[in-house]
Structure 1
Amino acid sequence: METTKKVLDKILSSICVVLFGALVLLVTWQVFTRFVLNNPSAFSEELAKYCFVWLVLFGAAFVFGENGHMRIEFIQDALPVKIKMVVQIFIEISIIFFSALVLLSGGLTITKLAWEQLSAALQIPVGYLYAVMPVSGIFIIFYCIYNIYTILKNKKPLEVV
């Protein structure tokens, strides 16, 4: 399980770097064509939107893998170790339910609905934009299961990054 996590971390970080680089290039091109050439590029704005959405959702999954998501630490820090473990497991299970319901199930539904609709500039299915939701949901669920496994294996709460 730890090997899978390391491989997934590497894949997600690489995807995020590539998406961020593409986003920078696309926005730079958009600004150049708009203000220098006075002829804004039609495809770059839409493609930048796709890159941004994918970057945000893959980045969110990566943050869950690093255990760096937002939390109210001062409440957890005041709890005894055993209760802190229970609270962390409860939080991870809550995130699993949210990810399964909203990202995975809702993402699959919206992707299916949007698959017939074509984007204005790129003329590709809008489903590609939404397809990242179920994928990132699967990654987040994996990371939550990994975190629960780590808590139970080490018999201590996770360290906050």
Structure 2
Amino acid sequence: MKFRRKIDLYLGYILVVIMGVMVINVLWQVFTRFVMGDPSSFTDELARYLMIWVGVLGAAYISGKRMHVAIDLLPNRLSKAKQMLLKMLVNFIIILFCFTALVVGGLRLVYITYVLDQHSPALQIPLALVYLIIPISGILIIYYKISDIYLKQF
């Protein structure tokens, strides 16, 4: 549980930093466009990549905090024992999805963009680095869900 709290803390700090950089980046873009009359060339692309990172890492963070959107119509009609079984089944489905779509699919995407040596147009950074957040987020969500199952915290 102590390790999970550390991951939550660091992930929260990372999200705050990314969001702060994104705000500064967008403010700089607005300043250069409307005040200086010559928009910065990299800000649009950087904002897009930071938004992807905030969205995907934010999903992992919310999953770890168990604050994600849930429809609880069915569980409320079940007995406590069946609610536990249903929640465990849902966690297993989430683990399966995250493994296949985010981890395996994300690693394939990272590998393909790395092998093809694709770079972003304005920033000239490897797109594999941008996409690397997908399998990382998948691993974090899987860790959180396994931890939930192990600790029976739904």
Same fold (TM over 0.5): yes
Partner of 1:109: 108
Residue 54 of structure 1 aligns to a residue whose secondary structure is helix
Give, in whole Å, the separation in 2 of the partners of 1:22 and 1:76. 40
How far does the alpha carbon of each residue in 1:5-28 deviate from its partner, in whole angstroms, 9 at most, with x for none? 101000110001001101100011
Does residue 76 (structure 1) correspond to residue 75 (structure 2)? The answer is yes
Gaps of 5+ in 1: 152-156
* Runs of 4+ off more than 6 Å: none
Distance 2:76 2:147 in 1: 22
- How far residue 73 of structure 1 moved from its aligned partner, in angstroms, is 1.4
**SS of 1:56 mapped into structure 2:** helix
Q: Percent identity?
A: 38
Give the superposition deviation at 1:76.
1.1
Cα shift at 1:48:
1.2
Cα-to-partner distance string for 1:99-154 (whole Å, 9 max, x where unaligned): 00000000001111112101110111111111000000000000000111121xxx
Aligned to 1:48: 47
How high is the TM-score relative to the length of structure 2? Answer: 0.95
Encode CA deviations 1:66-125: one digit per residue, 9 max, x unaligned.
111121113212211000000000000000000000000000011111121011101111
Q: How does 1:135-154 map to 2 (within 5 A)?
A: 135-151=136-152
CA deviation digits over 1:52-79, x for unaligned, max 9?
Answer: 1111111100000011112111321221
Amino acid at match of 2:90: I
Matched, 1:8 2:7: yes
> Which residue of 1 is the match for residue 90 of structure 2?
91
CA distance in 2, matches of 1:9, 1:68: 13
| Structure 2 residues not aligned, in runs of 5+ | none
In 2, Cα distance between equivalents of 1:26 and 1:78: 48
Counterpart Cα distance in 1 of 2:76 and 2:140: 27
Cα distance in 1 between the residues matched to 2:128 and 2:33: 28
TM-score for the superposition, normalised by structure 1: 0.91
